Amino acid sequence: MVDEQYFASFCHQILNEHPSIRFVGLADRQGHLITTAYRKNLVPLMDSKDTEKYTFQTVIRASMREVFEDKIGKQRYAVGLYEKLIRATIPIAFSSNKNRKFYLLMSFDLDSDYGHIIERKILPIIKEHKEYFM
């Protein structure tokens, strides 16, 4: 069973790691958005329906890349650079149970050092919460 309150707290913890993080969302393996967190006073570029559609499409794309894991290894994260923001998708799976696979979706300001933030701040937090994602 999904604990939405726990996941909401997790997303807010991620959001508070750096001021250049605009948005954090957590999706399940089917592309359903479980929870989101937005930076204070941020005016989102997309409404909730667009965000749900983006989430579904992003999870589908990420899951399609998994067929190559045996050749190139598991994806740590994927980043897209857009004119108005930077997006990142981080697969979260610590178990062989495919039902316990999640995707952390994030957006950053254009001038952010997103690679450093993801590697040094976000991935360690995900590992700290490993037990809950199993």
User: In degrees, to the nearest 5, what angle opens at C-alpha 103 toward C-alphas 55 and 115?
Assistant: 100
What end-to-end distance do the CA atoms of the chain give, in Å?
12
pLDDT score recorded for residue 86: 98
pLDDT score recorded for residue 23: 97
Give the span between the Cα atoms of 78 and 75, in whole angstroms: 7
pTM reported for the whole predicted model: 0.91
Domains in the chain: boundaries: 4-133
Give the span between the Cα atoms of 94 and 24, in whole angstroms: 20
- In tens, the pLDDT along 74-100 reads 889 999 999 999 999 999 987 666 667
Q: Are 76 and 60 in contact (CB under 8 A)?
A: no
CATH match for 4-133 among 3.30.450.30, 2.60.120.10, 2.160.10.10, 2.70.98.60: 3.30.450.30
List, for the chain, all residue ranges whose pLDDT scores fall below the cut of 70: 1-2, 95-99, 134
> Radius of gyration over alpha carbons of the chain, in Å?
14
pLDDT score recorded for residue 67: 85
pLDDT score recorded for residue 1: 42
Q: Are 33 and 55 in contact (CB under 8 A)?
A: yes
